[in-house]
Structure 1
Amino acid sequence: MVTKIVGTMYCAYVFTLIALVALPAAIQQGSPTVLVNWLSSNFLQLVLLPIIIVGQNVISAAQDARAEADHETLTTLHQMSMQQIAILQGQNQILDLLKQKAG
């Protein structure tokens, strides 16, 4: 449930706004250390988490679609193989009958 909410671009936008709220205070400090701290602890952590989850969801959906397509392909190939085996067995029976008549 939490990952469904956090793993959206809407959440990334909200987290970006939350992180940007602290930016003016960091700029007022005038220290590069404070800006680096704001960037690393506030902005990157808040924004990258939902973006990473969104990316994982996109990749997962693509993998699921690929797996479903592979399953359908393999099922069809298996059915074709079973039909070919049935045809070959029928041909073997015909050849056995011809051998019996000839022999």
Structure 2
Amino acid sequence: MTTGRTLINGINDRVAIRLTVIFGSIWCVYAFLFFSLLPLAAPAWQNTLLYVSNCIQLVALPALMVGNAILSRSSDERAAADHAALVEILDDVRAELADLRQITHGIDARTTDDPTPENVSINQTVIALDAASLPGH
């Protein structure tokens, strides 16, 4: 019996989504605009057209609500999958950061107390960094 309900639910979902797409299209707006102008051309049919209009509204509103709920559900599932993927990436980044901290842990202890040397060599040019060699001293 579950298979029958699943089949019916699947059909209902497809119909609701299809109606949501149809009622949400600009062509539906044009059709309803044309339909609303029909009483101008045939005033005697106004009561019948009003009845048909009310019937369309009674069908369209619930169909749109169900279709939006179904589309929202799939969006929520996609967001949950994205969240799981991002958490996995964050865990990988944290593991890599821990490895880098472990690798670079002793680097500061192996350097000298004075991090600025007196002379720096750049492309075979020696630059003195002591204050006496600066111009004006």
The offset of 1:98, in angstroms, is: 5.7
Question: Larger relative CO (CA 8 A, sep 6+): 1 or 2?
Answer: 1
Q: Paired residue for 1:63?
A: 75
CA distance in 2 between partners of 1:99 and 1:87 (Å): 21
RMSD: 2.1
User: 4+ runs of 1 displaced by more than 6 Å?
Assistant: none
Which protein has the bigger helix share? Answer: 1
Q: Give TM-score scaled by structure 2 length.
A: 0.45
CA distance in 2 between partners of 1:98 and 1:66 (Å): 49
Q: 1:53 aligns with which of 43, 58, 65?
A: 65
The offset of 1:46, in angstroms, is: 0.9
The offset of 1:97, in angstroms, is: 6.0
The offset of 1:75, in angstroms, is: 0.7
Unaligned runs of 5+ in 1: 1-8, 10-30
Q: Paired residue for 2:35?
A: none
Computing the radius of gyration from Cα coordinates, the structure with the larger value is 2
Which protein has the bigger strand share? Answer: 2
Matched, 1:92 2:107: no
Matched to 2:68, the amino acid is Q
Equivalent residues in 2 for 1:19-30 (5 A)? none
Q: Give TM-score scaled by structure 1 length.
A: 0.58
Q: What is the aligned-residue identity percentage?
A: 27
The offset of 1:96, in angstroms, is: 4.4
The offset of 1:88, in angstroms, is: 0.7
Q: 2:87 aligns with which of 71, 75, 82?
A: 75
